[in-house]
Chains A and B, each alone.
Chain A
Amino acid sequence: MFFMDKKVLEIGYGSVQKVKIGDRLPLVFIGGPCAIESQEHAFMMADEIGKICRRVGISWIYKSCFDKDCRSSPDSFHGIGMHEGLRVLSDIRNEFGIPVVSDFSDPAWGAPTGEVCDMVQVPAYLCRQTSMLRAAAQTGRPIHLKKGQFMSPWNMKNSVRKIEAAGNHQVLLADRGTFFGYNMLVNDMTSFPIMAATGYPVCFDATHSIQLPTSMGNISGGQREFIPHLVRAAVACGVNALFMETHNDPENALSDANTVLDIKYLENILGQAKRVHEVRLELFDKYGEDNVHPEK
């Protein structure tokens, strides 16, 4: 495997705290409620997650979406809308001084999303749509690009090249699970070194990885009891960022109720993840970086 130079992303414009992701830098947390439910809820979550991250000692980026376009049912909560959602995210930046990320599902929403958000996210299902990737690239912001559940990790390079062709060289590649038959996902840990071979940092999306897509007829299920196991495994394998959606009341969450992590577990898992990441780097210092090259 041929490793390009490792790129480091800097997330955050204006007066918010800058967060760097990549290479041997400390692990970064990206999280928040799946959907923006209300200004009050968003602020409460930002405040609570911020306190936890300060206690753990981990840099973080607030994530929440204004439009959920891939819900299983027409009756599911679709989001509070772009205008209102971006206003809430802008207020969170100003109030808490932290960078924010939201996804967008329509190329036309790319520019307004990038105007407010420090990072823009391309949904997994849309990860190879040229118009989406171009719109994300044209924001000029770093891009959180999720590997589609149907994509091989090596084919994500094609999506990266589309982004680069549009002039953007700031990408974070995430694994959120790969379809294993119907309604089932698995994590292939080799996806991290394979995607990292592009030179860009990689991220593990823990809460979507334990999803059972549309397993409950018209909504998705999930096995959140596996979140800590997968987090430890992925961070030990080698990721630069950890993504988890979290909620104070998962049962009543308006989106992804079966997969979001109850915030009462967040500190425990983030603490472990941070430590595993540090141990991995300590092991590299002691034994050297991975150097097995089967093709040579």
Chain B
Amino acid sequence: MSTPKSSLLVSDVMMSLDLVPVIGETVIFKEALEEMGRKRLGIACIVNPENSLLGILTDGDVRRMLLRVQKPFSAFFVDDALDHSIRSPLTIAPGDTLAHAVRIMDDRHVWDLPVVNSTGTLVGLLHLHPAVEALLKIQA
């Protein structure tokens, strides 16, 4: 028996934070890249000690930055990742439907949506691959 498409929620499919690159506000750019590499995701979520989402850094941001930044790599690497992040990123709530979230990802051409609850706390990450996989399973 398959789950109705409309009832599947973001919280059912989102990745838990231990699988997501989540970094503190004073983590430097180079460490952010390392963490993204370790977790094999093209996004890092930057949070304060209370786990409120302060910004995100994505592969696309890094690519564009590499073409823009003129200072030496050694100086670039020691910048706080937060300094180069998107400070008001697109997010989704855990109680939103998965179908709605995937439509947003399609409209905005993004692979990831940080999942933030009503108090601004980061609770997970919605990644496109598991989201699509879940929707395909419903259709199957």
Contacts and interface: CB of A to CB of B under 8 A. Distances in A.
B83 interface: yes
B6 interface: no
A295 B68 contact: yes
A192 B93 CA distance: 43
Contacts of A94: none
Contacts of B69: 295
B26 interface: yes
Interface string A128-167: 0000000000000000000000001011011001000000
B74 A154 contact: yes
B138 interface: no
Contacts of B72: 152
Interface residues of A, number: 10
Nearest to A294: B70
B83 A155 contact: no
A2 B74 CA distance: 16
B23 to A, nearest CB: 14
Contacts, number: 24
Secondary structure dominating the interface of A: loop
Contacts of A194: 75
Interface in A272-294: 294
A154 B72 CA distance: 10
B35 interface: no
Interface residues of B, number: 15
B96 interface: no
A152 B68 contact: no
Contact of A152 (B74, B79, B82, B83): B74
Interface string B47-91: 000000000000000000100111110110011101100000000
A155 B68 contact: no
A154 B75 contact: yes
Contact of A157 (B65, B71, B78, B82): B78
Contacts of A2: 79-80, 82-83
B75 A161 contact: no
A2 B46 CA distance: 16
B78 A155 contact: yes
B57 to A, nearest CB: 14
A2 B78 CA distance: 12
A294 B70 CA distance: 8
A158 B70 CA distance: 21
Given A154-B74, A158-B78, A161-B26, 14 more contacts: A2-B79, A2-B80, A152-B72, A152-B74, A154-B71, A154-B79, A155-B74, A157-B28, A157-B78, A194-B75, A295-B65, A295-B68, A295-B69, A295-B70
5 contacts: A154-B75, A157-B78, A294-B70, A295-B69, A295-B70
Interface of B: 26, 28, 65, 68-72, 74-75, 78-80, 82-83
